[in-house]
Every structure is written in C-alpha cells, then in structure tokens.
Amino acid sequence: MTQCLDVEIYADIICPWCYIGKKRLDAAFIERPQITPRYIWRCFLLNPSMPEDGMSRQAYLVGKFGNAASAVYSRIASAGRQSGINFNFDRIKRTPDSRQTHRYLLAAAAMGSDLSDAFFRAYFIDGRDLGDEMELNEIAREQGVNIPPGNLADPALSLQIANDIEMSRQLRVDGVPYVVFAGQYSIAGAHMPEHIIPVIDGCTSKPAKPATNAQSLKQR
C-alpha cells in the first residue's frame, strides 16, 4: 500500500541549489517506491530587493559574488553534474524578480499541476527569461497547463506568498532549499539522497510531531 508524505519545499526557482535539492529529493523517493511525496511549494525570495524588471546576469553576479563568481558557479556546476543536471549558466542573460514565477507555481498547484521542474529547466538549461510573463505562460502551456489570467491576478496568491515568507522567517530559514517533511523534520540545504532517505523513513514510521519541534539536519 502506497503512503503519501507531505513535503514542503521553501525555494526560489532562480536558486541553482534549489534545483539540485529537488533532483536529490526525487532520487531519494525513488528509493522508497511505497511512499509518494506530495510536494508543497513554499515561496522564498532569494533577492527580495530585485527590481521588478530584473537585472543583467553579469551585474547580478558581480554585485553578489564579486571576483568569486566563477569559483562559486564552478562548484555548483560540479554538484549539478553529480545529480544529472548540466547547467548552462552562460545562456542566462537576465536575473529576474521571481515573484511572478511564484505566482505561476502557486496558481498551477491550485489546478493540480507542478511547474517547478519545468521552470528550473527553462531557466538553468535553456536560459529562458522568467521575468517575461509571456515566457512564463508559454512554459506553462508546454506542460499542458493553461492558467486563466484571472487566476494569476487572484489577491489570494499575493497573500500566500506573503504568508510563506513570514513562515520562513518564523522557521529562521536563512537559505534555500529548506524542506519540511510532514511538519516533523526539516532539512536545510541540498542534501544527498542517502542523507534524505533516513528522514523519510523516520517520518513514515513514527507519529508526526508539531512543526515547531522540527529537527534540523544542517548541510555539510
């Protein structure tokens, strides 16, 4: 009998470690075929002060990492290859304000669809501009998800984004990915599948504890 496990993912689509973390999560659950994850997207803004129209990728990298950008992204690329991701960072021309991407993710989830993998691929593999709403809409349609404009304009989405950000503050999330399993255990960072599997096993073999008592596994 298949068991369902709620998995809340605090993440931002423009975060490469979040893409790696999601891949490693998927790999961990492949090793536990009797458990089906119910992924719940929780919004986190990696760059809360990003201008609405984003900024050039080069300016973003220099401003955030200075001369260390090349070394930082070389390490990320290596970690990505280990998880089956061939990052094409050179294709990315702009770093977007990710708020609208979050709206698409939440609107799609309300319709029973998960666009996170599609958006990760579009941004990090194909270099598509996630700051362009027409591009976001096209990516969604490519996945067979047609989101009515009224759904995207729903004020409830803005409220949910604000609530997720506030909850991340309460949980003291200072980096992503940050994953909460069944409100019981939390994992900070993009851990390898072998580190995630014991957490999955612990959640499915014991009664759930309150989220406020979540145990945290820090990334090494």
Question: For 86-153, what is the HEC assignment?
Answer: CCCHHHCCEECCCHHHHHHHHHHHHCCCCCHHHHHHHHHCCCCCCCCHHHHHHHHHHCCCCCCHHHHC
Percent of the chain predicted with pLDDT > 70: 93
pLDDT digits (tens, 9 = 90+) for 164-186: 999 999 999 999 999 999 998 99
Q: What are the structure tokens assigned to 74, written together?
A: 């070389």
pLDDT digits (tens, 9 = 90+) for 183-204: 989 999 999 999 999 999 999 8
Give me the residue label for tokens 């409100």.
Answer: 183
Q: Give backbone dihedrals phi and psi of 178, rounded to 5 degrees, phi first.
A: -135, 120
Q: Give backbone dihedrals phi and psi of 69, rounded to 5 degrees, phi first.
A: -55, -45
CA 177 to chain centre: 6
- Predicted local confidence at residue 210, as pLDDT: 44
Percent of the chain predicted with pLDDT > 90: 91
For residues 157 and 4, give the distance between their C-alpha atoms in angstroms, rounded to a whole number.
25
Q: Give backbone dihedrals phi and psi of 167, rounded to 5 degrees, phi first.
A: -65, -40
Q: What are the structure tokens assigned to 119, written together?
A: 């958006």
Q: Which domains does the chain have, with CATH numbers?
A: 3-218 (3.40.30.10)
pLDDT digits (tens, 9 = 90+) for 63-85: 999 999 999 999 999 999 999 99
- Say if pTM beats, i.e. exceeds, 0.85: yes
For residues 158 and 114, give the distance between their C-alpha atoms in angstroms, rounded to a whole number.
18
- Predicted local confidence at residue 207, as pLDDT: 52
- Predicted local confidence at residue 171, as pLDDT: 94
CB 31 within 8 A of CB 112: no
- Predicted local confidence at residue 205, as pLDDT: 81
**Across the chain, what does the average pLDDT equal?**
93
Give me the residue label for tokens 């404009």.
Answer: 149
pLDDT digits (tens, 9 = 90+) for 203-218: 988 554 444 434 455 4
| Residues 6+ away with beta carbon under 8 Å from 59 | none
Does residue 138 have a pLDDT over 50? yes
Q: Can you tell me the mean pLDDT for 139-163?
A: 96
- Residue 31's pLDDT band (boundaries 50, 70, 90)? very high
For residues 134 and 124, give the distance between their C-alpha atoms in angstroms, rounded to a whole number.
18
- Predicted local confidence at residue 64, as pLDDT: 93
Does residue 115 have a pLDDT over 60? yes
